[in-house]
């Protein structure tokens, strides 16, 4: 399969050629978040089994970030235990808020955030960027709880902000990776990655709708049903996606060659032994082709998830 990817990249005549290839590579990040993708748990890591398993999966799925931050294989392996530790603490927070939701309250044990702050400080990684990511993550947990418990109602602006904040743990890893190397993330690439991760959140909520509804779990499509009814939810979700693709497309049309190449590495990220070759292969593409490909992948995102499932009415828990 990877050999076919190489042939298609080297023989690329236009962006549409790679779209079916990219659409076949469905991200497993949301599966890991829900505990569906089993991963071996390394010994000696902090936390309990469930948090560690999720953390290991997220770090594995975020390998492309490590490559984009400039790490070679040896450096990537060296930093992996720290990333797993941080993600483990994030998921301790996730579980704490889940427990609070089951109890009907929005406040959760803050130990996860305190431990995360300590871990960052121990490694000299505290700063405005990491603090902002942790604050956004905490805000997301609280906002999710209020929505699930029916204390607030979804509106377009609120849901758009939540869609972005939902990936705050990935943004934290991105900031940490640069702080370790003493570099600063490129603002334009960081913004594009933020848009792309938000689109993945929307798509995978579409895939997990039925299970999330059965578990009474947070799901953007469920919230659109609650706000607009089953008949209007799909159109509302499309508007949410458009609110993300619009500014992302504007950035792509003006991005330089390096930024486009890095974005394509993220968009085409695969969980395979040959993934480390992707940056060098993407670098071979002419800038106009890279731009067309990035735009094609951006707008093809909605199609990759297929027809929306049958939607059922939602009621709040008030």
Q: Return the axis-axis angle of helices 73-102 and 168-181, rounded to nearest 10°.
A: 150
Question: Tens digit of pLDDT for each residue in 160-215?
Answer: 999 999 999 999 999 999 999 999 999 999 999 999 999 999 988 988 998 988 88
- What radius of gyration, in Å, describes the C-alpha atoms of the chain? 19
DSSP 307: S
CB 125 within 8 A of CB 179: yes
Tell me the domain boundaries of the chain. Answer: 2-305
pLDDT of residue 273: 52
Which of 10-19, 53-62, 214-223, 251-260 bottoms out in mean pLDDT, i.e. has the lowest?
10-19
Residue bearing tokens 């659109």: 224
The full DSSP string for 209-250 is: HHHHHHHT---HHHHHHHHHHHHHHHHHHHHHHHHHHHHHHH
pTM of the model: 0.83
The terminus-to-terminus CA distance of the chain in angstroms comes to 50
6: pLDDT strictly greater than 70:
no
CB 299 within 8 A of CB 102: no
242 CB contacts (<8 Å, ≥6 apart)? Answer: none
d(CA 316, CA 318): 6
Let me know if 116 is exposed, middle or buried by CB neighbors in 10 A (0-12, 13-18, 19+): buried
Q: How far is CA 75 from CA 9, 223, 227, in A?
A: 27, 41, 47
Angle, CA of 228, 248 and 189, to the nearest 5°: 135
d(CA 309, CA 197): 22
DSSP 10: H
Q: What is the mean pLDDT of residues 26-49?
A: 43
Q: Which fold has domain 2-305?
A: Farnesyl Diphosphate Synthase (1.10.600)
Question: Tens digit of pLDDT for each residue in 69-122?
Answer: 999 989 999 999 999 999 999 999 999 998 998 899 999 999 999 999 999 999
d(CA 32, CA 70): 25
43: pLDDT strictly greater than 90:
no
């Amino acid at each position: 399969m990877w050999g076919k990817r190489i042939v298609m990249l080297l023989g690329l005549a236009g962006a549409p050629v790679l779209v079916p290839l990219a659409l076949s590579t469905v991200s497993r990040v949301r599966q890991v978040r829900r505990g569906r993708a089993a991963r071996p748990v390394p010994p000696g890591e902090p936390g309990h089994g469930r948090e560690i398993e999720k953390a290991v999966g997220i770090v594995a799925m975020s390998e492309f970030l490590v490559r984009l931050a400039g790490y070679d294989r040896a450096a990537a392996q060296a930093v992996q235990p720290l990333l797993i530790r941080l993600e483990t603490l994030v998921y301790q927070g996730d579980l704490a808020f889940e427990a609070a939701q089951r109890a009907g309250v929005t406040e959760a044990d803050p130990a996860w955030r305190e431990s995360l702050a300590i871990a960052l400080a121990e490694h000299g990684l505290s700063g405005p960027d990491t603090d902002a990511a942790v604050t956004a993550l905490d805000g997301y947990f609280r906002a999710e709880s209020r929505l699930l418990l029916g204390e607030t109602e979804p509106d377009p602006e609120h849901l758009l902000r939540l869609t972005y904040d939902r990936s705050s743990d990935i943004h934290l890893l991105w900031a940490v990776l640069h702080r370790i190397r003493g570099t600063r993330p490129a603002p334009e690439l960081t913004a594009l990655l933020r848009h792309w991760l938000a689109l993945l959140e929307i798509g995978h909520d579409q895939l997990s709708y039925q299970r999330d509804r059965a578990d009474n779990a947070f799901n953007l499509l469920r919230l659109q049903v609650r706000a607009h009814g089953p008949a209007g939810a799909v159109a509302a979700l499309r508007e949410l996606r458009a609110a993300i693709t619009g500014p992302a497309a504007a950035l792509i049309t003006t991005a330089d060659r390096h930024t486009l190449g890095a974005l394509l590495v993220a968009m085409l990220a695969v969980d395979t032994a040959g993934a480390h070759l992707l940056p060098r292969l993407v670098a071979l593409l002419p800038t106009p082709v890279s731009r067309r490909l990035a735009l094609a992948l951006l707008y093809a995102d909605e199609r990759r998830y297929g027809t929306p499932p049958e939607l059922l009415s939602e009621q709040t828990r008030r």
